Amino acid sequence: MQSIHQILKQYWGFDAFRSVQEDIIQSVLAQNDTIALLPTGGGKSICYQVPGMALDGITIVVSPLIALMKDQVDALKAKEIKAICINSAMKYREIDIALDNCIYGKTKFLYVSPERLKSELFIERLKKMKVALVAIDEAHCISQWGYDFRPPYLQISELRKYLPPTTPFIALTATATPEVMDDIAAKLEMKKPTIFKKSFERENISYLFLKETAKESRMIRAFKRVAGTGIVYTRNRKLTIEVAEILRQNQISVDYYHAGLDSETREKKQNLWINNKIRVIACTNAFGMGIDKPDVRTVLHFQPPDCIEAYFQEAGRAGRDGKKSWAGLLYDDNDIQELEYQLSSAFPERAEIKQVYQALVNYFQLATGSGKDDFMEFDIIDFCNRYNLNTFKANRCIDLLVKNAYVYLTDSAYLPSRLMFKVNKEQLHQFLVNNPKLEPILKIILRSYSGLFDEFVNIREKDLAFRTKLPLERMIKALNYLHSTDIISYIPQSSLPKINFCTGVIKADELFIDKETFEKRKEAIQKRGNAFIKLLKDDSQCRSRYMLNYFGEQTTHDCGQCDVCLKNNKASISFTELTAQEIKLMEWLKTGPVDYNWLQLQFPKASTARELVRHLSEQGKVIQNGDWVKLV
């Protein structure tokens, strides 16, 4: 067995682990059930991928997000590590072949969405697998009182029935309060878990909560004064377009992104931003999950999200490289009123829930008892328009149906088209003899992709059309024909979320939502929402300290760099002192860029350097890019 340090160097190129990572890995290798609470960007995947490579057998990774699973599998494959993903967007034959490869192939990681764990097909194949480790990503989803509860997570502990008792489980999350941590251990049947909790504090991030009536001008100033890539989060699709246009008119390289765009467009925009062809992306929260871009300098919320967990996770996409970064949040009185309204209407009446459920049944034209094994594409906008439903309320009703395990709704994620041959090479040859007109297409497919006789392979219809000099429509028609003749299995690309009726369709009047559970969940949501509203309104307490305390981390020191701390620091520096220090700093910068960390050491208080740089940035005299400060 390779040492964990050899594995880290060979596959990830790192010479040493980050803080806590090695301790977590050693705990897993000692076959201890383990809980790892690490902040966003804290390197959670290393904590199960390295031991997964060291152990003899396959690692099962449970994750709720298709996009996150896809990115993780692609990243492992790029390292020449065999990894497979099974999710709700896949067809039965795809899953069947993938599971066979986990038993008889050299697969090291099987990523699986939680709702697939209870399928008969999965359980039967699981019994034949040599499972070395079970990793549960986004483990907070197991708590029905926490943020983003997913009922299928409650099925994970059932895996223990089919695995040796020594098989370790590792649960990982970046957003869990102490109550949720206890719930994770209990629901996963961890008797004496080893718990590792790294501080949530992100010392390189300045949290700036700014009450603004002129959000647009503040946003423009922020991106003019801070170099590097950035993200602007908005609450709806229309605003992503409007925000992008405002920034574009001010000569800032920008594009917009939301779940309503077609899959090819979304992938193109995402890649342009990742590869620094576009500086800023204006988006909804559909963007960012699973994207590990380390050099994001600014994350700006054009409006506040609905809870601290969501804000902390999204803001945490800034500065993953450890360099100086900013997380700004712009808000006004209307935003606070909107949050308060959402809290008051977070739990619709039961009659409304039943109405939406019946509309879902009608939308898919399902009979009673059907829908249990089907995952159907779901367009929430089309659904609401067709039945004249308020989108916010419909989403809340569907969320409650999900949390009560009546339906399951996946995230929206782009999945490319996939293809696999259903016949062997001899049968294919005979088919070509009988269908010579299809020979050019089939030969181009075989030349363009490998492994088509063993597993499903991602394809691009546009590339095949270009190589055969056929119109795209004709290429797609040919692929569908070949699929109908059972020569190939062809699955077109998709990006819409999928919905499933977990126990089959029932009559709307038979829906049962336990009153006590209903009230407890309502109380939990209101508690989270009120905590965030208090954070917005309270400009007397350090932002970082407030959020750390919320997550159960009792810290006694302020960050010294959030908007509250900067306001307090400014009051402690006299005008004369500030002017004198500014002159000193400007003299240093005339010789070239200055390292920010070195700069902090040149003054009696590190806060003085922060205040100087902020003050000079507002005047347009200096600019900060990561750890470097330079003259404009």
Give a three-class secondary structure readout of 417-485: EEEEECCCHHHHHHHHHHCHHHHHHHHHHHHHCCCCCCCCEEECHHHHHHHHCCCHHHHHHHHHHHHHC
Residue 33 tokens, joined: 């059930």
Average pLDDT along the chain: 88
State yes or no: pLDDT of 16 exceeds 60. Answer: yes
Per-state percent for the chain, helix, strand, coil, to nearest 5: 50, 15, 35
- pTM score, whole prediction: 0.74
Spatial separation of the C-alpha atoms in residues 488 and 423, rounded to whole Å? 7
Hey, do 342-413+496-525 and 573-631 end up sharing a CATH topology, with the first three levels equal?
A: yes
pLDDT at residue 133 in the model: 97
CA torsion through residues 550, 551, 553, 555, sign = negative
State yes or no: pLDDT of 514 exceeds 90. Answer: no
Q: What is the mean pLDDT of residues 250-256?
A: 95
Burial of 593 per CB tally in 10 Å (0-12, 13-18, 19+): middle
CATH T-level topology, domain 342-413+496-525: Arc Repressor Mutant, subunit A (1.10.10)
pLDDT at residue 429 in the model: 92
pLDDT at residue 274 in the model: 92
Per-domain residue ranges of the chain: 4-197, 205-331, 342-413+496-525, 417-491, 573-631
Tens of pLDDT along 400-436?
898 888 998 887 667 789 999 999 999 999 999 999 9
In the three-class reduction of DSSP (H, G, I as helix; E, B as strand; rest coil), residue 7 is classed as helix
pLDDT band at residue 607 using 50, 70 and 90 as cut-offs? low
pLDDT band at residue 386 using 50, 70 and 90 as cut-offs? very high
Where b means 16+ CB within 10 Å and e means fewer, 134-165 reads bbbbbbbbbbbbbbbbbbbbbbbbebeeebee
In the three-class reduction of DSSP (H, G, I as helix; E, B as strand; rest coil), residue 89 is classed as coil
In the three-class reduction of DSSP (H, G, I as helix; E, B as strand; rest coil), residue 160 is classed as helix
CATH T-level topology, domain 205-331: Rossmann fold (3.40.50)
pLDDT at residue 570 in the model: 65
Identity of the highest mean pLDDT range in 258-272, 330-344, 508-522, 582-596: 330-344
pLDDT at residue 598 in the model: 81
Query: Quick check: 384 and 390 in contact, CB under 8 A?
Result: yes
Q: What is the mean pLDDT of residues 86-95?
A: 83
pLDDT at residue 185 in the model: 94
State yes or no: pLDDT of 573 exceeds 60. Answer: no
CATH no. for 573-631: 1.10.10
Spatial separation of the C-alpha atoms in residues 539 and 110, rounded to whole Å? 46
More confident residue, 552 or 23: 23
Residue 152 DSSP one-character state: G
| End-to-end Cα distance, the chain | 54
Tens of pLDDT along 27-59?
999 999 999 998 777 788 999 999 999 999 999
Flag the least confident range among 22-36, 489-503, 522-536, 612-626. 612-626
State yes or no: pLDDT of 534 exceeds 90. Answer: yes
pLDDT band at residue 2 using 50, 70 and 90 as cut-offs? confident
Flag the least confident range among 164-178, 220-234, 251-265, 424-438. 251-265
In the three-class reduction of DSSP (H, G, I as helix; E, B as strand; rest coil), residue 253 is classed as coil
- State which CATH number among 3.20.20.10, 3.40.47.10, 3.40.50.300, 1.20.210.10 fits the domain covering 4-197: 3.40.50.300
Q: What is the mean pLDDT of residues 512-529?
A: 84
Q: What is the mean pLDDT of residues 498-518?
A: 87
Spatial separation of the C-alpha atoms in residues 223 and 597, rounded to whole Å? 22
* Backbone Cα Rg of the chain: 26
